[in-house]
A and B are shown apart, each in its own frame.
Chain A
């Protein structure tokens, strides 16, 4: 250990203080492990702090559902975990079908989930859709609802995890960039621009920069750096409670208690990760606006007051890289959440801490490991 890190070695070094890094640090500390978190900017600076805040089990890939279900349990008692409500509200999320054809595919999806033993998604008809989302366009034939879903305030959440972790003895070094990582006897040596740190376990939770850490360890991954865009309107009269998402056209849509409406859905701007900059693509934002225009006529005169994008990692199969290293003892990966990792944060941190402390977990995480990219 040298530089800002002092003399004493932690049990775990977490690289990256997004929602995942902070959550893993917190859960490790709860298990009595000594943790050091190294963050190149500040906690929640990128996608963990600026995402749409959706807390959603709805429409997830089957491989993610167990982790998501575990996480949802934590969300519903989040204040017990981090002493902060994180702005979490649970008014459900609704996936709206825009055509009969799409509605048929939704029916098949729900049947498939039921057969796998998952019951969180329910098919709803046009009537129930209208009762949940009164302002939705008349042409939509139905949808799927996930009633325990909701939304939270991303930066507040990430900071709450960070604060709680700190109160349990986790040390955060912000503004410190990891430059390398190598084996040092039975432990790992992490070099940074502010000294070196040593620990038996290292968690790579570096988000859009995680491929560089993985490459350092000889486990290259095909990570794509993306910049999902969001925009928010000035306050409009309250007209919708659940979060609404679409599948065929990219849209997610949520009205906050104060009346402002958040419009997202995954249209991408340009990410310049070495400069920490994103550039918006207004033509694509215009597509989002057009979708809202079609779906919610009530929104047509609303003023867009702010638009932004966060820097995020996407994997080719849209699934995270989560679990032990394929080749190294004491190395763990937790990144690549492909623009839907916020909800997973609380649960993924708990499962990761279990993996580190106990060596295994009962929560199924098959199909998420880094080995799927081994060549």
Chain B
């Protein structure tokens, strides 16, 4: 376990780098003390290079509630290591008092009551204030976006990502990498990259399938504070498998570890004194990459939505995790001299909406993007009595609600909802607006299919997805959390090999075991196969919520997890 003190010592031992990290003063402020913007942004500018990292905003322009996961299991060599630490263990690891602002921002417990105290988080106008404040101290600070930016809201869906492109251009972004961006389709991605984006769209691991040539710029060299900086972009490696490959048929991705080693040699050869990997690999893949490939100073991680108050040091590489949905921005001040990194000062800045003043220019820009859709966004569809959240390895109440909607609206025995990590939370007592439904469902392949599957097929699907989450080798972990299941319970032993993890599959409405040869009616959404048919998932959910009026989602006890 790494305490703050140990982090500094580890840094010294490994590479004679001095460093500091943590929260500043705000982390220990209790609920009774008022947080101020200065508590969050007070940071002594050091070194000669500043990086600002934001990632996985999932098109959230406005502040949201977002509950961090309760269950985030590490397997193989990462059991109990960050980010696979939650709740009380997380608070203990990082010295966070119960009930504090940091507790609310970074862990899941008491979410509803702490949300009442500390309010929403994020908002691009608050993020803009933070960026402007940092640039007031260090004008040439690099703003780097880890991707999953153009998808996740009604407005991003309706404008094909245009709202986010406009906002990130205005933010003064210097580079980005990608994942869900490609679900807009390759034609739209190329239109944005070639004509609309004011900064490079980096993807060192994206190749043309036919000729095996690079499809996008792999890196960009910057000179800041007299330092040559290489920012290499790594897109989500499992793009054509986890998302519909037919939407970008001529592209190949992959981790491509050797390619990364070659690029590092190339940029070092060009004089790079600081090598930054702007990554959408996911934390465990980045941890393995950092262990196997020398020469990366900083990895700005993404995809797995982890927010860590301190860097994780692996083989002289500092891994940074900056959360999701606009909840956090990371500031890194680096001291780079004589061709190497000598010092690192790190701060994970929580974007408490009520504490940080909005930047009026950005507020206006955001409101302009949303104006054409305002009536549609604001319409109240129903109300929730339960906390609705998505994050967690196995289930969340948002997906339980979606599964309930699929079963009732599509008259199915069993419902499947993909294990996405994006989607804002709603508090008990809140109205559910159309915007809220889209925040949990907006994407470009929303068809709610209905089909018949045998028990054997269902078992194969669950085993396949489970291996993509719990394979002990991170390079073989393909995507999101476990597929969410409605109408069926099961037992999972995460330490078994593929084919042996899932047992005791039970049809909940009868209490009977699922028979391999029997056929069941299954409804789901977000099929990666071309030609899936059905109504859009948001219409299914809206219809269900309208019928219910006020929704209540009981705790899900139908998945039995063993081997943790």
Question: Do the two shown chains form a genuine complex with each other?
Answer: no
